[in-house]
Amino acid sequence: MIDTRKYGPWAVIAGGSEGVGASFAEQLADAGINLVLIARKPEPLAETAAAMRAKGVQVRTIELDLLDPTAIDTVRADTDDLDVGLLIFNAGANSYGHDFVTGELGRVQGVIDLNITAQLALTHHFGALLAERGHGGIMLVGSLAGYLGQPEISVYSAVKAFSRVFAEGLWLELRERGVDVLELVLGVTRTPAMERAGLNFDTPGLDVAEPADVAREGLAHLADGPVWVAGGNQAAAEKRSGFPRAELALGALEASRRLLPTE
């Protein structure tokens, strides 16, 4: 059961138009929490907003590319009159699968700016507001990729590692001020972004989570920070945190080759 007094009356979801973000929106709307949905693609954003309004909650949409240097100013202008109790940063599915040294540095920078710079800007703004009011929550949606370097997503893995360590420090800073902080670590999840990336969900032995399930698990464990590994992936996270690192990295290489389509 979602504590609407603690995490309401408004929630901001960055990356809230499809996949896990849309599932967060649906479950929060079912609990009666009003929504601010931030997304880059207008069509799924409008569709999700309409579906949430049909549930009886208020919804504001912000069609926005979080890579825009003025993005935080736009978000502030559209939310400063609201009592926001929850920030969910789910806008990070930008892995840019390419070998680092032959890839375009500008696109690599985009991965960093989305997953670190934009996340920090929104967390800094809403975190200060939540700390001042003395209750609320911040959820940063992470990835099992952040536990181990992998080929062609080396930068994505690195920024997800940053997000987890950042969440741990932020949790320590805000826990005495009534604000819950959680890094929700996802494994392979059946999202439109992963489908567009060509991930082979039919790989033998692969455990694939559904967006609604991981969203429900994350909301249920908001107060159990700083890190919650969703979808039964706790053992995998622990294994990826071990040693020797070379052996683990080579194992991840073989696993990634089975998941991704071949040319």
User: Could you tell me the domains of the chain?
Assistant: 4-259 (3.40.50.720)
Crossing angle (nearest 10°) for helices 42-53 and 19-30:
20
Give 181's contacts (C-beta < 8 A, 6+ positions apart).
Answer: 137, 138, 139, 140, 167, 170, 171, 174, 175, 225, 226
CA distance 24 to 38: 13
The answer to whether the beta carbons of residues 148 and 157 sit under 8 Å apart is: yes
So what's the pLDDT on residue 191?
76
Strands 59-63 and 34-39: parallel
Helix (H) or strand (E) holding 86: strand 84-89
Angle, helices 154-174/119-133, rounded to nearest 10 degrees? 10
pTM higher than the cut 0.75: yes
CA distance readout (Å), 22 to 14, 170, 176, 183: 10, 25, 31, 18
Distance CA 195, CA 211 (A): 13
Question: For residues 61 and 112, is the Cβ–Cβ distance under 8 A?
Answer: no
CA distance 256 to 232: 19
Give the 3-state secondary structure of residue 40.
coil
- The answer to whether 210 and 188 are in contact (CB under 8 A) is no
Give me the count of residues in the chain. Answer: 263
pLDDT of residue 29: 98
pLDDT given at position 194: 65
pLDDT under 70: residue ranges of the chain:
93, 194-200, 202-205, 258-263
Mind telling me the catalytic residues?
156
